[in-house]
Structure 1
Amino acid sequence: MADKTPTRRDEKTPQAEKPSARSEIADFISQVGAMTAGKKASGPGRGRLLFALDATMSRQPTWDLACQLQAEMFETVAKTGGLDVQLIFFRGFGECQASKWVRDARALADLMTGIDCRGGHTQISKVLSHARNEHKKEKINAVVYVGDAMEEDIDKLAQKAGELGLLHCPIFLFQEGHDRTAETAFREFARLTKGAYARFDSSAPHELAALLRAVAAYASGGREALKLQKSSGAQKLLEQLR
């Protein structure tokens, strides 16, 4: 395992890679929509996506942008159908809240606009425990986690991630910035759950948008949904899935 000593959050973010082209994203959305259009709107066969957010103060500078991108993903989910979504976020002194599971993903976009960032440490342990408990009630097809830091015991979190891996519940971790401790931990959680890891940057917002839509497609349509797309973001995830 990696060094357990937390590092300070990065104050500067190096220049990101070239963002995905708008045409690629639009094409991917179109193909995913065509693939899932025939799915039933309720009953067996619906996918479930748990969306987890770090809402601590270090993310405040890019929070509005993140809300916009994640709202776009929820909008895409609502259009494709066949997917139930739950939002969970942590912030402040021990605050961690989860919404109800919803079929109208637009409701989550509205919920996000009312969330503001507050100072505090990461609470990834609570997110993993919540995911495990929810998965035992009913299968979760994918967990998305978006954050920029990791301030907890990596070994203990890896144990919980491993439990999710045994339950066949993959985690897709998207890191903002270049905190090395966070990257080490996120990559390990992705490996243990047979999920995927990717880094994004606020200067390349469409890269995160493509990645989020790719996971939404995976949750509703599995690996076949990712194989239909052409965006570089979704291809990165497909290459990591086992």
Structure 2
Amino acid sequence: MVNRLTTSSDSEVVQFLQKAARTPVAAKPSGRLIFALDATASRQPTWDRACQLQGDMFAATADIGGLAVQLVWYRGYGEFQVEPWLSQAADLQRRMTAVQCRGGLTQIGRVLEHATRETRLHRVNALVLVGDCLEEAVDPLCQQAGQLGLLGVPAFVFQEGNDLDATLGFREIARLTRGAYCTFDRGSARQLRELLTAVAIYATGGRPALEEFGRRHGGLARQLTRQL
């Protein structure tokens, strides 16, 4: 005698497995990028622009493996925030728009320390640091940058404005991590878009992807490629 209950159950299992096999599996992002922003008071206009532009980072990497971004920011009296890893532009934008810039000193040393600790846990492909000034001793920052460079994490440091101390320190951080340094104008959203998109492509597809992007688009992307 055939056990109808067993036969029916087996059939349902088979159907479930067939359906599961036809369901696309969401691929894990192949690139991991730490996106560090100065959220002190002078940075509010650029923070607002970055909120609008960050979606381009995800869109640019969709065809080459996708991107996971961890937002890190500092402001006020010792406030330092590390957000979760995110792979959706809308999620990152929600977190960014909830932040209001406040007066305070820079905390770039903590950014470098966090990036080093994070990549020891799980590979980080690149660090982006966007700021306009540097109020910390440069020598300790160079030591931290060198450690990050030994782990193979390039820092792409984008300076707004022309503060001399920031220029000297930011260039050294980029050099010691084998990354790149570039300036952008306070009024140019296009420049910031190009820079963020180029680094996202690097974090996902490596130098070959960035070189191809630079050949097609030129401009700031090619400047970054030449420095690496």
Query: Shorter-chain-normalised TM-score: which range?
Result: 0.7 to 0.9
Q: Tell me if structure 1 keeps the 8 A contact 2:58–2:67.
A: no
Structure 2 CA distance for aligned equivalents of residues 63 and 49 of structure 1: 18
Check if 1:66 corresponds to 2:47.
Answer: no
Check if 1:111 corresponds to 2:98.
Answer: no
Structure 1 CA distance for aligned equivalents of residues 162 and 195 of structure 2: 18
Indicate the percent of aligned positions where both proteins have the same amino acid: 54
Structure 1 residue 82 displacement after superposition: 2.5
Structure 1 residue 146 displacement after superposition: 0.4
Aligned residue number for residue 231 of structure 1: 218
**Counting helix residues as a fraction of each chain, which structure ranks higher?**
2
The Cα RMSD (Å) is 1.7
User: How many pairs were matched up?
Assistant: 200
Query: 1:106 and 1:80, CA in 2 relative to 1: closer, same or farther beyond 3 A?
Result: farther
Q: Tell me if structure 1 keeps the 8 A contact 2:71–2:83.
A: yes
Structure 1 residue 227 displacement after superposition: 1.6
Matches within 5 A, 1:1-242: 41-42=27-28, 46-77=30-61, 81-229=65-213, 230-241=217-228
Query: 1:93 and 1:189, CA in 2 relative to 1: closer, same or farther beyond 3 A?
Result: same
Structure 1 CA distance for aligned equivalents of residues 54 and 89 of structure 2: 11
Structure 1 residue 204 displacement after superposition: 2.0
Determine helix, strand or coil for the equivalent of 1:115: coil
Structure 1 CA distance for aligned equivalents of residues 35 and 63 of structure 2: 17
TM norm structure 1 = 0.78
Bigger Rg over Cα:
2
Q: Tell me if structure 2 keeps the 8 A contact 1:88–1:99.
A: yes
More contact order relative to length (CA 8 Å, sep ≥ 6): 1
TM norm structure 2 = 0.83
Tell me, which stretches of 5 or more residues in structure 2 are unaligned?
Answer: 1-25
Q: Tell me if structure 2 keeps the 8 A contact 1:210–1:231.
A: no
* Residue deviations 1:80-138 (CA, integer Å, cap 9, x gap): 64322111000000000011112224311121111110000000011111000000001
Structure 1 residue 205 displacement after superposition: 1.5
